[in-house]
């Protein structure tokens, strides 16, 4: 039997640990930290944006902000520059939950992941492209691609997603230039 959320919470809430973040080279902050109190379970999973395609931003806007699109897929940028050189999102055109992706799109997903990764890497001076899927905020199928700048070891690993908010936003012209490379590579690559 799986552990109930109530049992999970009861076991965990008084036993939270503080990992030695000051020893982690990739931790973005200085100073001590204290874990937040773990709030008890709620009665149901919080609603995600656009559940069931109702009031779904992507379904309402289609490919209007896409860098590239085909019959089944879109690649879209964030609405404004962030700290990393490129962050783009692969989405399906129709509304699907990640785990309900139909078989033909499942077969296309592997090649798409590599294709978008290559297009982001083509921007240059990219040490790695992080491919991430959480799906806790919005239901419409989406996968993140985050370019990590080359040769800055502090930015290695999963904290790059936090560094994206710590680093200053890219200058607009550079951001547009990088997105244009991604769009070109997706089109021609």
Q: How far is the CB of 56 from Zn ion (least distance, A)?
A: 3
Which residue, among 166, 164, 73, has the nearest Cα to 111 in the 3D structure? 73
In the shown chain, the binding pattern of residues 37 to 56 toward Zn ion, with x for contact by CB under 5 A and - for none, equals: -------------x--x--x
Q: Which is nearer to Zn ion, 56 or 122 (CB)?
A: 56
Q: Judged by CB under 5 A, does residue 142 bind Zn ion? A: no
Beta strands (DSSP E) in the chain are: 68-69, 73-77, 87-92, 126-132, 142-149
Query: Which residue among 58, 115, 121, 142 contacts Zn ion (CB under 5 A)?
Result: 58
Using N-to-C axis directions, what is the helix angle for 103-121 and 172-188, rounded to 10°? 130
Q: If you count DSSP H runs as helices and E runs as strands, how many of each does the chain have, helices first?
A: 5, 5
Beta strands (DSSP E) in 19-162 are: 68-69, 73-77, 87-92, 126-132, 142-149
Query: Which residue among 140, 146, 148, 155 contacts Zn ion (CB under 5 A)?
Result: 140
Q: Which is nearer to Zn ion, 59 or 78 (CB)?
A: 59
Q: Which is nearer to Zn ion, 92 or 117 (CB)?
A: 92
Query: Do 170 and 85 touch, CB atoms closer than 8 A?
Result: yes
Query: Which residue among 21, 28, 48, 59 contacts Zn ion (CB under 5 A)?
Result: 59
Footprint of Zn ion (CB under 5 A): 50, 53, 56, 58-59, 95, 140
């Amino acid at each position: 039997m799986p552990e109930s959320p109530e049992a999970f919470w009861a076991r965990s809430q008084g036993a939270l640990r503080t990992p030695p973040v000051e020893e982690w080279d990739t931790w973005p902050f200085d100073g001590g930290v204290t874990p937040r109190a773990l709030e008890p379970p709620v009665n149901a999973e919080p609603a995600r944006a656009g559940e069931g395609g109702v009031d779904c931003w992507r379904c309402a806007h289609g490919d209007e902000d896409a860098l590239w699109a085909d019959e089944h897929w879109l690649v879209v940028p964030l609405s404004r520059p962030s700290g990393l050189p490129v962050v783009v999102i692969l989405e399906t055109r129709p509304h699907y939950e990640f785990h309900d992706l139909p078989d033909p799109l499942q077969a296309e997903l592997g090649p798409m992941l590599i294709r978008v990764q290559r297009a982001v890497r083509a921007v240059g001076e990219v040490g790695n492209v992080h491919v991430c899927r959480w799906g806790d905020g919005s239901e419409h199928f989406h996968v993140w691609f985050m370019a990590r700048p080359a040769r800055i070891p502090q930015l290695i690993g999963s904290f790059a997603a936090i560094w994206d908010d710590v680093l200053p936003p890219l200058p607009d012209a550079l951001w547009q230039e990088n997105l244009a490379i991604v769009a070109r590579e997706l089109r021609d690559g």
